[in-house]
Chain A
């Protein structure tokens, strides 16, 4: 049986009668990189705050490392590193002192500070007061803070916010290496599928507080498979011909689309059409990108 690192059941949070998160059943297994996706205001940060015990759920349960969060919060947090929303820091202190302020609480070894600064590429700036840092540098410091306690579970809320393309790539490589090298489980939230696509092996998509998709990345890719568009002389009649030979299709104006793209299937459709006297002008493959699929999942139920 799979070991769940994070498991929530019926998790909900209500603000003034409105649900920011409702009935969330999150399941994240050991060593997974879980991409937590959703548009602005979907409830990602609210969920993450609940997972860290920062806010009380209005309903439901949270189990982390198989222990109830409500009862074993401190034991659990000892094994978790987190970055919530925009980075927190003490502006008047240097990067080293910022990490030291955390280290004094979590009891990490002292040399871990230079290690994590090195990991996020801040070693050269370590002595400067953080208030003079750029947004991307503060973000890196936030990631360094999350790594400081050598956690088994990393919870990162939009960690690449404010980073330049090179920085995004760097952080992505860093996160990708986590499960491989240290057996760390990662929960990472984002607005963009493309951002987590290359590292996540599981995705959860949340919309208006509700989970609308939760499955492996591979299965999401499968759903994004393409379709064939055929331009024919008389699309209405052609559709009927195809239907008779067991090939379902839709027509949009002069175009006819069929849902499968494998060669044999397409060849059979064309054969049937030509045999019954239709002219086939064009056969095109249409790929639905993952991003389009994502936008469709997220967009459903919009604009009431």
Chain B
């Protein structure tokens, strides 16, 4: 049933410029660092001489959380708006499909999109590092972690924003919240705050804790959202 819903959601995204959105974040991040390293090439190369690749990845990592949360906000709002726009909820939810499947399908589609973004980010980082002449000793594990660890740590926020977007007709509220969260996510305010997990999941020593917290928190918020969505009245 889940797959049917996703299959249908996929079709509804046709012509919404989704792949452009998916690439926008990672390409933006890479372009920013290309500029940074291009302008201050000699200086940065000297200061990161011990670990050129590590220096590059750390520079990118600072901006991954804000790009990630912006992407989450836009994606969730887009997925929800497809149904809100002409009140398609009443048609969709009168079909023989469970509401949990409908909700989870949107979540899965958003997660797949973000996953693709993470892959694009990894490929972009490799291209940039090679382009800058940092050599072929690729720190592949770190390159993969660069996008995926913050993404997993951001799952609670994805579930929360998706829930708000799908249940609130007025998208201004979740979008505002998403943007505020995105900006704040650049700062390691406090470890217990889910908002800081995307940053810490890459930066901190004990990354696994933030990954586990993200996955678990994501599941809890997702389930809460599903239960609420399944019970509410549809206008």
Q: Are B95 and A77 in contact (CB under 8 A)?
A: yes
Given contacts A53-B94, A90-B86, A91-B86, contact A104 B8 (CB under 8 A): yes
Contact sample, A vs B, 15 pairs, CB 8 Å cutoff: A53-B93, A74-B98, A82-B94, A84-B90, A85-B90, A88-B86, A88-B92, A91-B86, A92-B15, A101-B11, A101-B12, A102-B91, A104-B4, A105-B8, A107-B4
Set of chain B residues within 8 Å of A105, measured between Cβ atoms? 4-5, 8, 92, 95-97
Set of chain A residues within 8 Å of B169, measured between Cβ atoms? none
Binary interface encoding of chain A residues 72-111 relative to chain B, with 1 for a CB under 8 A from any of its CBs, else 0: 0011011010101110111111000100111011110000
Is the C-beta of A205 less than 8 angstroms from some C-beta in chain B? no
Is the C-beta of A49 less than 8 angstroms from some C-beta in chain B? yes
From the candidates B8, B88, B91, B96, name the one contacting A78 in the complex (CB within 8 A): B96
Among A55, A101, A142, the one with the most B-chain Cβ atoms within 10 Å of its Cβ is A101
Q: Are B95 and A106 in contact (CB under 8 A)?
A: yes
Is the C-beta of A54 less than 8 angstroms from some C-beta in chain B? yes
Set of chain A residues within 8 Å of B42, measured between Cβ atoms? none
The residue in chain B whose Cβ has the minimal distance to the Cβ of A75 is B96
Q: Are B233 and A55 in contact (CB under 8 A)?
A: yes
Is the C-beta of B87 less than 8 angstroms from some C-beta in chain A? yes
A54–B229 CA distance with the chains assembled, in angstroms: 11
Q: Are B96 and A88 in contact (CB under 8 A)?
A: no
A78–B4 CA distance with the chains assembled, in angstroms: 14
Is the C-beta of B231 less than 8 angstroms from some C-beta in chain A? yes
Is the C-beta of A56 less than 8 angstroms from some C-beta in chain B? yes
Set of chain B residues within 8 Å of A102, measured between Cβ atoms? 8, 91, 95
Is the C-beta of A52 less than 8 angstroms from some C-beta in chain B? yes
Q: Are B16 and A92 in contact (CB under 8 A)?
A: yes
Q: Are B11 and A100 in contact (CB under 8 A)?
A: yes
How many residues of A are in contact with the other chain, CB < 8 A?
31
Interface residues on B, range: 20 to 34
A116–B219 CA distance with the chains assembled, in angstroms: 41
| Min distance, Cβ B230 to any Cβ of chain A, angstroms | 11
Q: Are A77 and B94 in contact (CB under 8 A)?
A: yes
Is the C-beta of B206 less than 8 angstroms from some C-beta in chain A? no
Residues in chain A within 8 A of chain B (CB atoms) = 49, 52-56, 74-75, 77-78, 80, 82, 84-86, 88-93, 97, 100-102, 104-107, 142, 145
A82–B90 CA distance with the chains assembled, in angstroms: 10
Number of A-B contacts (CB under 8 A): 79
Is the C-beta of B234 less than 8 angstroms from some C-beta in chain A? yes
Set of chain B residues within 8 Å of A88, measured between Cβ atoms? 86-92
A154–B79 CA distance with the chains assembled, in angstroms: 29
Set of chain A residues within 8 Å of B15, measured between Cβ atoms? 92-93
Set of chain A residues within 8 Å of B88, measured between Cβ atoms? 88-90
Q: Are A54 and B90 in contact (CB under 8 A)?
A: yes
Among B86, B89, B93, the one with the most A-chain Cβ atoms within 10 Å of its Cβ is B86
The residue in chain B whose Cβ has the minimal distance to the Cβ of A52 is B94
The residue in chain B whose Cβ has the minimal distance to the Cβ of A55 is B233
Set of chain B residues within 8 Å of A77, measured between Cβ atoms? 94-96
**Other contacts beyond A82-B91, A86-B87, A88-B91: 19, CB < 8 A:** A52-B90, A52-B94, A53-B93, A54-B93, A55-B233, A56-B233, A74-B97, A75-B96, A77-B94, A78-B96, A84-B90, A84-B91, A84-B94, A88-B86, A88-B92, A92-B16, A101-B11, A102-B95, A104-B11
Set of chain B residues within 8 Å of A142, measured between Cβ atoms? 91
From the candidates A75, A85, A97, A104, name the one contacting B14 in the complex (CB within 8 A): A97
Is the C-beta of B40 less than 8 angstroms from some C-beta in chain A? no
A77–B88 CA distance with the chains assembled, in angstroms: 17
Is the C-beta of B215 less than 8 angstroms from some C-beta in chain A? no
Set of chain A residues within 8 Å of B97, measured between Cβ atoms? 74, 105
Q: Are A55 and B234 in contact (CB under 8 A)?
A: yes
Is the C-beta of B46 less than 8 angstroms from some C-beta in chain A? no
Is the C-beta of B82 less than 8 angstroms from some C-beta in chain A? yes
Is the C-beta of B7 less than 8 angstroms from some C-beta in chain A? yes
Q: Are B14 and A93 in contact (CB under 8 A)?
A: yes
Q: Are A91 and B85 in contact (CB under 8 A)?
A: yes
Find residues 39-96 in chain B having any chain A CB closer than 8 Å to their own CB. 82, 85-96
| Min distance, Cβ A285 to any Cβ of chain B, angstroms | 47
The residue in chain A whose Cβ has the minimal distance to the Cβ of B93 is A54
The residue in chain B whose Cβ has the minimal distance to the Cβ of A88 is B91
Set of chain A residues within 8 Å of B90, measured between Cβ atoms? 49, 52, 54, 84-85, 88
Set of chain B residues within 8 Å of A82, measured between Cβ atoms? 91, 94
Find residues 1-28 in chain B having any chain A CB closer than 8 Å to their own CB. 4-5, 7-8, 11-12, 14-16
Find residues 145-202 in chain B having any chain A CB closer than 8 Å to their own CB. none
Q: Are B231 and A56 in contact (CB under 8 A)?
A: yes
Question: What are the 10 A-B residue pairs with the smallest beta carbon separation, nearest first?
Answer: A88-B91, A55-B233, A78-B96, A104-B8, A77-B96, A88-B88, A54-B234, A52-B94, A104-B7, A84-B90
